[in-house]
C-alpha cells in the first residue's frame, strides 16, 4: 500500500470509513412463510452483502471514499463511467430500504394519517395495493416497485435494475424488490404470489408513514 499524502486535509485510511451492511430489522426466518429463511440467507447474506463489499472495493481511495451512501448515489447517477459504483451503491441503499419496508406483522390497515393520503390518491387502500402489485408484476426483468410522494401526492412507480427515486424529486416511502433473487427459491416464476404475499402479510405501512413526514 502506498504512503498516504497527509499534506492537505487529513485523509482517512482506506478501510476507515467503509459503507456498512445494515443489520436486518428482524431474524431471517421472521418473514416466513411469504419469504423463507433460505431466501433471506441468500438475499441478505449473499446478494446485499456482495453489493456492499463491491462498493467498498470500487470506492476505496477515490473521491467517493468518504461520502455518505446517498451522496455516492446522487453524484454517480447518470455518469456512464461511474455505472459500477452507482449500481452497487444504489443496490446497497435499495436493499436496506426494502428490508425496512417489510415487518413480520405487516400488512393490514395503514395508520390513519397514511390511510387518508392513500385514499386521496388511489380511492382506497385496496386500490393502492392493486396498483403496487400490478406495477411490481409488470416490471420487465429486474427492478423495484415503489410507493413515493411526488409533489405531496402519493404515487406508485417502478424502476429498472438498480435505479431508484433518490435521483429524482420523488420521495420513496416503501419498496418491493422484484429481482428474481427476491422470490425465485420460494415462488419460482410466480412473482405475483410473492408480491401479493408481501402486500398482504409483510408491508410496513408505519415505515411508509415515517418516510412521508
Residues forming contacts to Fe ion in the complex (CB under 5 A) are 177, 179
Q: What is the enclosing helix (H) or strand (E) of 137?
A: helix 125-138
Min. distance of Cβ 111 from Fe ion in angstroms? Answer: 27
- Helices assigned H by DSSP within 6-107: 37-42, 49-59, 69-76, 83-100
Summarize the chain as % helix, strand, coil (round to 5): 50, 10, 40
Which among 152, 188, 193, 153 is positioned nearest to 176, based on CA atoms? 193
Nearer to Fe ion, 142 or 167 (CB): 142
Query: Least distance from C-beta 178 to Fe ion, angstroms?
Result: 9
CB of 108 to Fe ion, least distance (A): 24
Query: Which residues make Cβ contacts (< 8 Å) with residue 159, sequence separation at least 6?
Result: 143, 144, 146, 165
Residue among 122 and 207 whose Cβ is closer to Fe ion: 207
Report in angstroms how near the CB of residue 5 gets to Fe ion at its nearest.
38
Using DSSP, state whether 160 is helix, strand or coil: strand
d(CA 39, CA 200): 19
Taking the complex as a whole, how short is the minimal distance between the CB of residue 144 and Fe ion, in angstroms?
9
Q: Which is nearer to Fe ion, 76 or 96 (CB)?
A: 96
Structural element, H or E, at residue 187? helix 184-187
Q: Which is nearer to Fe ion, 177 or 186 (CB)?
A: 177
Shorter beta-carbon distance to Fe ion: residue 12 or 46: 46
State the residue number with the nearest CB to Fe ion: 177
Amino acid at each position: 500500500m502506498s504512503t498516504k499524502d497527509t499534506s492537505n486535509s487529513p485523509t482517512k485510511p482506506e478501510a476507515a470509513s467503509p459503507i456498512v451492511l445494515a443489520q436486518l430489522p428482524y431474524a431471517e426466518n421472521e418473514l416466513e412463510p411469504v419469504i423463507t429463511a433460505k431466501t433471506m440467507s441468500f438475499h441478505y447474506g449473499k446478494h446485499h452483502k456482495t453489493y456492499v463489499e463491491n462498493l467498498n472495493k470500487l470506492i476505496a481511495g477515490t473521491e467517493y471514499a468518504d461520502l455518505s451512501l446517498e451522496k455516492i448515489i446522487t453524484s454517480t447517477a447518470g455518469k456512464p463511467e461511474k455505472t459500477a459504483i452507482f449500481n452497487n451503491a444504489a443496490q446497497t441503499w435499495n436493499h436496506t430500504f426494502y428490508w425496512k419496508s417489510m415487518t413480520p406483522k405487516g400488512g393490514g390497515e395503514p395508520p390513519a394519517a397514511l390511510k387518508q393520503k392513500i385514499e386521496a390518491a388511489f380511492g382506497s387502500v385496496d386500490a393502492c395495493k392493486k396498483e403496487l402489485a400490478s406495477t411490481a408484476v409488470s416490471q420487465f426483468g429486474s427492478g423495484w416497485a415503489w410507493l413515493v410522494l411526488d409533489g405531496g401526492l402519493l404515487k406508485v412507480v417502478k424502476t429498472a435494475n438498480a435505479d431508484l427515486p433518490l435521483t429524482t424529486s420523488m420521495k420513496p416511502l416503501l419498496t418491493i424488490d422484484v429481482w428474481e433473487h427476491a422470490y425465485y427459491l420460494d415462488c419460482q416464476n410466480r412473482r405475483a404470489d410473492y408480491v401479493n404475499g408481501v402486500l398482504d402479510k409483510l408491508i410496513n405501512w408505519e415505515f411508509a408513514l415515517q418516510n412521508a413526514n
